[in-house]
């Protein structure tokens, strides 16, 4: 399975957005960048809504499936989403009449992903296909693009840091050394090569800042979870993504940790599509450094999914995760077409397969699936394939609902816990 398969979700952002703020879009002096000023965004409107139980789907009015993939909210209640198929971004007002604004065409963004609101009031996202970080002013629609010093770099997730900057991972490397990146609000980028044990390089995938101030990240390809100090610029803790080789659970695939978040209990949680589980570690756990995988300390507690089938990745591919306003963990299983809800209290130190507190099946909405061939961010020929509505990015909204992008359903779904 390609390392690019597991593309995951974004955490809830904090920021100040208003059309009296934002940047001018002017590029800073020095450093490679491109200034792009798109024409007016097209107000496309919606084709309506569909409600089934606690779910409401907002349908995108576009001639072809836009491929909504990653979503987030600005503090003014506006939802912003990236469009994998149209290489664009769009927004939706969830208050009153819904209307879409879509930016595509000549101003398209190569594989846009992971929108996050910065302290400057702008929306920042990665351009995986362009080895770049983009800054979008939601008021003027001016976009400035900043290319990484190293290429190919494949930046994927970008998160807001406690140091008045944003941090991102680089999922590609020209020399076998992978990097974390820091970009300040003027667009200056600093890269930090990750030195790992000789047995394997450190390959950062998904990011979150922990309550300890460290930048925690998963290693999808290596089956690891690490903590990086943004002051010493070194990896200070390493963990095996799963202790499946120790606790009696023996899946047929190695660990493949995906989305990582701070849970409602203030611990670090991640979802693993290789072992089919949610796993938790305390930020105070000392972990280990420089050890071979088998000697690394695993998670403190785990929840294994009942429906997980290690022999067929298309049956269960739980890869996306978010913390909900209900104090639970929300997990997206894209090929299975559903969203599962678990409580942190269901986790144990060992093997447990509790039933989800709730399961929301997207196919009950009655939406006709599109014709997508690959998951977002994956080159054709290296994907697991797309079937059903393929729920993807998930985030907690300011209205108390959980919001999920239907990549192959050309819609965004709100779920009331």
Is residue 17 in some structural domain? no
The alpha carbon dihedral of 36, 187, 166, 233 has a sign of: positive
Q: Is residue 293 part of a domain?
A: yes
Q: How many domains does the chain have?
A: 1
Residue with the bigger pLDDT between 199 and 9: it is 199
Strand blocks (E) in 3-142: 33-36, 42-43, 46-52, 55-60, 68-73, 78-83, 88-93, 100-103, 112-117, 123-127, 132-136
Domain interval for residue 100: 33-415
Please report the pLDDT score of residue 288 as a whole number.
Answer: 60
pTM of the model: 0.86
Could you give the CA distance from residue 245 to residue 13 in angstroms, rounded to a whole number? 36
The confidence band for 69, taking pLDDT boundaries of 50, 70 and 90, is: confident
- Give pLDDT, residue 96: 42
Average pLDDT taken over every residue of the chain: 77
Evaluate whether residue 3 is within a structural domain. no
pLDDT computed for residue 294 by the predictor: 44
**Position 54 in a domain:** yes
- Could you identify the residue written with the tokens 């971004």? 89
User: Which of 102-111, 192-201, 233-242 bottoms out in mean pLDDT, i.e. has the lowest?
Assistant: 102-111
Q: 6 pLDDT exceeds 80?
A: no
Whether residue 128 lies inside any domain: the answer is yes
Predicted confidence (pLDDT) at residue 236 exceeds the cutoff of 60: yes
Ramachandran area for residue 138 (φ above 0: left; ψ -120 to 50: alpha; else beta) = alpha
Residue 241: band (very low, low, confident or very high) from pLDDT cuts 50, 70, 90 = low
pLDDT for 297 beyond 50:
yes
Beta bridge partners of 155: 170
363 — phi, psi (to 5°)?
Answer: -65, -20
What is the distance between the alpha carbons of residues 149 and 190, in angstroms, rounded to a whole number? Answer: 8
- 9 found inside a domain: no
State the CATH number of the domain containing residue 192: 2.130.10.10
Predicted pLDDT of residue 396: 95
Query: Is the predicted pLDDT of residue 3 greater than 50, yes or no?
Result: no
Once rounded to an integer, what is the mean pLDDT over residues 218-226?
Answer: 85
Residue 330 contacts residue 324 (beta carbons within 8 Å):
yes
Across the range 205-229, mean pLDDT stands at 91
Classify residue 242: in a domain, yes or no.
yes
Residue 82 φ/ψ, nearest 5 degrees = -95, 150
The per-residue pLDDT for range 334-353, each reduced to its tens digit, is 878 899 999 999 988 777 78
Question: Taking 70 as the threshold, does the pLDDT of residue 21 lie above it?
Answer: no
Residue 273 has pLDDT above 50, yes or no: yes
Residue 4 belongs to a domain: no
Which pLDDT band holds residue 124 (cuts at 50, 70, 90)? very high
Q: Which of 78-87, 142-151, 391-400 has the highest mean pLDDT?
A: 391-400
pLDDT band with cut points at 50, 70 and 90 for residue 33: low
Q: Given pLDDT bands bounded at 50, 70 and 90, which one contains residue 137?
A: confident
Q: Report the C-alpha gap between 38 and 55 in whole angstroms.
A: 34
At residue 376's C-alpha, the angle toward residues 360 and 74, to 5°, is 70
């Amino acid at each position: 399975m390609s390392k690019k398969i597991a593309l995951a979700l974004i955490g809830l952002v904090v920021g100040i957005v208003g059309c009296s703020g934002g940047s001018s879009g002017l590029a800073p002096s020095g450093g490679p960048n491109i200034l792009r000023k798109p024409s007016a965004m097209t107000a496309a409107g919606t084709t309506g809504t569909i409600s089934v139980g606690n779910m409401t789907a907002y349908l995108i009015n576009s001639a072809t499936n836009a491929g909504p993939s990653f979503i987030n909210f600005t503090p003014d209640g506006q939802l912003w989403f990236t469009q994998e198929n149209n290489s664009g971004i769009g927004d939706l007002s969830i208050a009153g009449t819904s209307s879409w604004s879509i930016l595509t065409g000549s101003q398209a963004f190569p594989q846009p992903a992971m929108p996050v609101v910065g302290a400057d009031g702008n929306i920042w996202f990665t351009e995986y296909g362009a080895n770049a970080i983009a800054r979008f002013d939601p008021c003027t629609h001016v976009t400035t693009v900043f290319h990484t010093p190293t290429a190919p770099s494949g930046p994927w997730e970008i998160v807001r840091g406690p140091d008045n900057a944003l941090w991102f991972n680089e999922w590609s490397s020209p020399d076998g050394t992978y990097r974390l990146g820091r970009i300040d609000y003027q667009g200056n980028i600093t890269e930090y090569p990750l030195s790992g044990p000789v047995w394997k390089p450190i390959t950062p995938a998904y990011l979150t800042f922990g309550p300890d101030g460290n930048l925690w990240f998963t290693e999808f390809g290596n089956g690891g979870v690490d903590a990086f100090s943004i002051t010493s610029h070194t990896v200070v803790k390493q963990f095996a993504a799963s202790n499946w080789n120790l606790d009696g659970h023996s899946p047929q695939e190695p660990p493949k940790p995906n989305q990582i978040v701070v849970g409602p209990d203030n611990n670090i949680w991640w979802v693993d599509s290789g072992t089919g589980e949610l796993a938790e570690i305390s930020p105070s756990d000392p972990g280990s450094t420089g050890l071979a995988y088998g000697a690394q300390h695993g998670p403190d507690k785990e929840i294994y999914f009942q429906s997980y089938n290690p022999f067929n990745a298309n049956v269960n591919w739980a890869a996306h995760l978010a913390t909900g306003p209900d104090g639970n963990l929300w997990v997206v299983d894209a090929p299975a077409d559903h969203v599962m809800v678990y409580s942190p209290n269901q986790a144990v130190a060992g093997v447990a397969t509790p039933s989800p507190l709730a399961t929301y099946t997207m196919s009950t909405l009655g939406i006709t699936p599109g014709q997508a061939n690959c998951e977002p961010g994956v080159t054709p020929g290296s994907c697991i394939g797309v079937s059903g509505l393929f729920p993807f990015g998930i985030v907690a909204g300011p209205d108390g609902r959980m919001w999920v992008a239907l990549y192959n359903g050309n819609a965004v779904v709100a779920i009331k816990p």
